């Protein structure tokens, strides 16, 4: 496995509509290696989600969660790989939450997201599955699928007044959340 370089805001790959994978492409050893490398990269960068455009691949692939998630802990998000994810539904109920992004290092902002989502995708072997998620996992899914459509979290912010450098977020904003 390899740790890949993460693209940063401003690179055109982050603003493109990513391409869906065919079953043949999904079975390619290079695609399977990319999925493994994306997980390794996400872990190394201490992220909780990563989309293929963030590693310079304009493909509809996302990885999220923790490889060592404890299934008994409801706050641990299990490692999940989604190929060609599609929205089935997004709840009308929204909530504000802080987000950051490996492609926009050292910035945080409050983003409104649907409280619950249902996503249809393929697993790494091409088997279809449906995932219903709420809370933090729903937020991560929305953030990562946005990457596949060329959308970055500041595009979703309603109030740019919360856009903060990480150091100031920890100093001023996180305290008010505790």
- Coil, helix or strand at residue 71: coil
Per-domain boundaries in the chain: 12-94+116-150
Return the pLDDT at 75. 80
For residue 5, is pLDDT > 90? yes
Q: What is the pTM of this model?
A: 0.94
What is the tens place of the pLDDT at every residue in 97-154? 999 999 999 999 999 999 999 999 999 999 999 999 999 999 999 999 999 999 999 9
Return the pLDDT at 159. 93
User: Mean pLDDT over all residues of the chain?
Assistant: 95
Minimum mean pLDDT range among 18-22, 122-126, 170-174: 170-174
For residue 1, is pLDDT > 90? no
Residue 67 CB partners (closer than 8 Å, separation 6+): 39, 43, 79
Return the pLDDT at 177. 60
What is the tens place of the pLDDT at every residue in 32-60? 999 999 999 999 999 999 999 999 999 99
Return the pLDDT at 176. 62
- Tokens matching residue 123: 């697993």
Write down the catalytic residue from 46, 86, 95, 144. 144
* Domain made up of 12-94+116-150: CATH architecture: Alpha-Beta Complex (3.90)
Other Cβ atoms closer than 10 A to 16: 13
Check if 40 is active-site.
Answer: no
CA distances to 4, 34, 82, 83, 147 from 27, rounded to whole Å, are 21, 11, 14, 12, 23
């Amino acid at each position: 496995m390899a740790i890949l370089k993460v693209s940063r805001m401003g690179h055109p790959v982050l603003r493109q509509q990513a391409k869906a994978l065919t079953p043949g492409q999904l079975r390619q050893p290079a695609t399977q290696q990319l999925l493994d490398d994306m997980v390794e990269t996400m872990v190394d960068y201490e992220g909780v989600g990563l989309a293929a455009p963030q590693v310079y691949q304009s493909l509809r692939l996302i990885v999220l969660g923790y490889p060592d998630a404890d299934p008994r802990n409801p706050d641990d998000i299990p490692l999940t790989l989604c190929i060609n994810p599609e929205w089935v539904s997004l709840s009308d109920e929204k909530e504000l939450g802080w987000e950051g992004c490996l492609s926009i290092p050292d910035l945080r902002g409050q983003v409104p997201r649907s409280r619950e989502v249902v996503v249809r995708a393929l697993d790494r072997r091409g088997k279809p599955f449906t995932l219903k998620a709420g809370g933090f996992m729903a937020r991560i899914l929305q953030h990562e699928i946005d990457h596949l459509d060329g959308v970055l979290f500041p595009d979703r912010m309603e109030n740019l007044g919360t856009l903060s450098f990480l150091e100031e977020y920890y100093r001023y904003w996180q305290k008010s959340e505790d």
